[in-house]
Amino acid sequence: MEHECIVCDERGLLKPPVPPLDATLDRYLEYAAVVAAGQPQMHLHSTVDAVQKFRVQGKPLQEKLLKIAEKELNWVNIYWLPEMYLRIRIPLPVNSSPAYIFPPLPFEQPDDFYRYTALMTRGFVSYKDRIDRNLIERERATGSKKDMFLCMDQYDRLLGCYRQPGKDQDIQIRKSKAHTENEHVIVMCRKQTFVLMTRINGELLPLADIEEQLKQIERMAVGRNGMASGVAAGSVGDRDKAAMFWEEMTQVEQNRKSLEWMQKALFVICLDPERDPAEGTKEKKMVEKGIYLLTGNGSAKHGLNRWYDASIQFIVSRDGTSGFCFEHSTAEGIVLVKMVEDAIRFTRENWRRNLMNQQPRKVSAKPLTWHISERAKQIMDEQIEIFDEVHGYLVSTYESCSIRMFATGRVDNIRANTQEALEWVTSMHNQHFTNEQRVALFRKAAEKQAKVTIEVIFGRIFLLTFMSKLEHNWLWNRQPPVCVECVGTRIRGSVARNIHRSSMA
């Protein structure tokens, strides 16, 4: 029997259900058959046999998963977050961290660069202040359940998380709120790291203080240019190498202190010199901006004036190009977009106003110090080589929908490889089908896709449930899980440590 959703807290949020075992396996076979249909050299027989055996093996595992679902606020996140993000070992740039291009704002005067950056920064920290004081309006679903409140936990995480590289699996650090104390952001300038205060003793600093600190940082960066270490290179490539880098770096106490400043920062500001002018059509120029925000155009340009482990990098070039690079394990894009829109609105409303009538206080930005060993330098060189190869090939993409109707819910994939979709696609290049038949097949495929979407929204997360059971099988039987192979792709569990923590606690 399917585990029913139950109200789990005073906000009226639900716990996600655990789909029935047979429904989970049926849906997996449905998708596997469609994938196998396009690979004549592959056979589905072994997959079907393994799944049928798992119908028996999975029953006690289903019961264990139900117990976890009862105890945990959201059983899905135990498996989803590591599998989707934290265990991925390839570089974050391009592969995982998306970019958002902001509307252009050509800087007419030299100080416009600092004013714009300061206004946007003040807009971001003001938005976070409203989040911390619970002043952001509670969101509701926009679909068939318009009366359903959505989980707002992602807003708290937006400027409250940091992704620390770890061996095999990264660590998502959740920072405590400090809106009654001191808060800061990190500024990257000329491959150097600086601390810029945004709140002191619980009070947000005025625009004058933020702008003055930005100017201080530029002056310090120019004066210290020969001391630029490019320490950000340690995390730009392979995640296991990044973990090795920081393990080496934190042998030194000063590095541990500097890293703590990085981890506690609300976000990172990247101040870049004017980038190379883009040529060609409007679309080509937009592509060039996107590449710039995603990668900084490589290590030889601005790529090491970044900090990809931070949840948010606010990037500003002196030519007026600006945007975000976003570490995606923290939250979904819609939450980020709402904060960005609010900050852009604040900046536009105040761009021509005189907000600098208050003299800046004696608030000074400060540089961070790093001591880099020969071993750490070697890892940095290896990471730069990997980073500069993150281009020239397509990356995986997918469609997803929100499951924020559940407590701490994020998203899940809307899997499109249905039999109905295959039949429609096949008809499009088969002359024996009429247009009327193709339209009918298209409608049938669209109806199936809508059904799958509704299933995901309401927590019928079939394939994720299957994966968790494979992992259970490994944990309790102390044997390799039943591997289900289809079209050369092995689906296997890899989240036993999470289950172990949940079940043995």
- Catalytic amino acids? 328
d(C-alpha 456, C-alpha 461), whole Å: 6
Q: What is the torsion angle, in degrees rounded to the nearest 10, for the CA atoms of residue 422, residue 425, residue 426 and residue 431?
A: 160
Question: Roughly what angle, to the nearest 10 degrees, separates helices 239-249 and 253-264?
Answer: 130
- Is residue 403 within 8 A of residue 457, CB to CB? The reply is yes
In one letter, which amino acid is 445? Answer: A
User: Which residues, other chains included, contact 197 with Cβ-Cβ below 8 Å and sequence gap of 6+?
Assistant: 182, 183, 184, 205, 209, 213, 363, 365
**Distance (Å) of CA 260 to CA 14, 38, 61, 360, 373:** 35, 50, 41, 27, 19
What beta strand segments (E) does 141-249 contain? 161-164, 171-174, 183-189, 192-200, 203-204
Output the CA–CA distances (angstroms, integers) from residue 479 to 48, 60, 135, 472, 489, in the order listed: 21, 16, 51, 10, 20
Q: Which residues pair with 195 in a beta bridge?
A: 186, 366
CA-to-CA distance for 446 and 448, rounded, in angstroms? Answer: 5
Structure tokens given for 299: 């290590």
C-alpha–C-alpha distance, residues 87 and 277, integer Å: 37
Q: Are 244 and 318 in contact (CB under 8 A)?
A: no
How far are the Cα atoms of 167, 329, 386, 404, 480 from residue 242, in angstroms, in the given order?
9, 17, 11, 32, 29
**Pairwise CA distance, residues 23 & 25, whole Å:** 6
Structure tokens at 50: 């393994």
Quick one: tokens of 68? 């976890």
Whole-angstrom CA distances from 170 to 262, 295, 326, 409, 450 are: 16, 21, 16, 20, 34
